[in-house]
Structure 1
Amino acid sequence: MSIDSGLSFNHMGIYVHDLAAMEAFYTAVLGFTVTDRGSLQGAAGPVQLVFLSRDPRTHHQIVLASGRPATLDYNPINQISLAADSLATLRTVYRRFVELGARDIDAITHGNAISFYVRDPEGNRLELFFDTPWYVSQPMKVPVNLELPEDELLAAVEAHARRLPGFCSRVEWEQRMHTLMSAS
């Protein structure tokens, strides 16, 4: 039995050091709502849980769980990505992070998206992005200025993307992926 059409990504859980600080960040800065909270017995003792969502149809998109080891040598989370519904929304959220004094904001394009990367209070890397109407072969990363007027920013991203391997419309790429995924 094939499972290719029966599954979709739904949520993720993050072990954290400071549950209250992480809850405050995800609710106040990124607009998540606490949908539930509680405690469960884990292998190493009680685990406090906070369930967060930005979608009223989805109980939780992120679960914050107490118990992140203080001695972990590296952060195992590569990134947590949030899609913006428009370039205007992305730019508004970007400005909010700038106003909050966030350091190390990395505004870039992947050709198929315009993104910025920033860290949450415990160093987890966040990607906030807006999909462009184009596709280019990945990986690809070029800095962008999110303060440019929207039409100038999109024109610059498109002009660069058109020079890259694999350039096509997002619709063409989605059709190729549909064919590829249907064949497997």
Structure 2
Amino acid sequence: MRHPDVLAPQLRFSHIGFFVRNIDQQAVFYKEVLGFTETDRGTLPTPSGEARLVFLSRDPDEHHQIVLVSGRPSEQHFNVINQISLKAASLEGLQALHRELQRRKVGELIAVTHGNAVSVYFRDPEGNRIELYVDTPWYVSQPCRVEVPIDLPADELFAWIEAHARGLEGFRPRAQWRAEMAARMGLTP
């Protein structure tokens, strides 16, 4: 399906907002563990009462990339957020973040490859799943999720991931996959 030409070049993902139970605890976690800066904080009247908001960003060009909003019901048993994904700058940086998360004893910490990315998953204090990841230069058919030996030296880990990816269905250079997707999206001349 082609996207309308008027929308395709004009939309890009900007930020996410989600409800939390303990806004102060969540704000501390995102600031101290993930390095976000609090850009604003305040209250807003809503139909169900006053909501507290905390705005967080890691980019000075974005007022907020995450907004935490009070009001998540404590009796809620199902979280509609599957994951919040943040891109790391490098494989070495991802490994350093993994070591820090281990040190902080975050919940459900696991490192995996998807073939097209290397990811570290864990939970924030309210159980929201966080993904930190770096892309690989390959594409493989999805879904794909295999644990990786994240503590290997970065060059050995990269070689391990590439050897694994080469044996998976759909393996090809990311640039080739990207060109295919651009054509499917109607973004090529």
Q: Could you tell me the TM-score, scaled by structure 1's length?
A: 0.97
Aligned-partner Cα distance in 2 for 1:29–1:15: 19
1:57 corresponds to: 61
Structure 2 spans left out of the alignment, 5+ residues: none
Aligned-partner Cα distance in 1 for 2:51–2:107: 31
The partner residue of 1:101 within 101, 105, 108 is: 105
Matches within 5 A, 1:1-184: 2=5, 3-182=7-186
User: Deviation string for 1:24-72 (max 9, x for gaps)?
Assistant: 0000110000011111111210000000000000000000000001111
Q: Runs ≥4 in structure 1, deviation > 6 angstroms? A: none
CA displacement at 1:103 relative to structure 2: 3.2
Aligned-residue RMSD, C-alpha: 1.2
Aligned-partner Cα distance in 1 for 2:78–2:138: 34
Aligned-partner Cα distance in 1 for 2:174–2:23: 39
Aligned-partner Cα distance in 2 for 1:10–1:120: 21
SS in 1 for 2:53: strand
Aligned-partner Cα distance in 1 for 2:161–2:154: 11
Q: Are 2:8 and 2:187, in contact at CA under 8 Å, matched by a contact in 1?
A: no
CA displacement at 1:125 relative to structure 2: 0.1
CA displacement at 1:151 relative to structure 2: 1.2
SS in 1 for 2:10: coil
Q: Are 2:139 and 2:174, in contact at CA under 8 Å, matched by a contact in 1?
A: yes
- The one-letter code sitting in structure 1 at the alignment partner of 2:64 is H
Structure 1 spans left out of the alignment, 5+ residues: none
Structure 1 vs Structure 2: percent identity of aligned residues? 51
Aligned-partner Cα distance in 2 for 1:71–1:150: 43
SS in 2 for 1:82: strand
- The one-letter code sitting in structure 1 at the alignment partner of 2:134 is F
CA displacement at 1:183 relative to structure 2: 6.4
Aligned-partner Cα distance in 2 for 1:158–1:49: 42
CA displacement at 1:8 relative to structure 2: 0.5
- The one-letter code sitting in structure 2 at the alignment partner of 1:109 is T
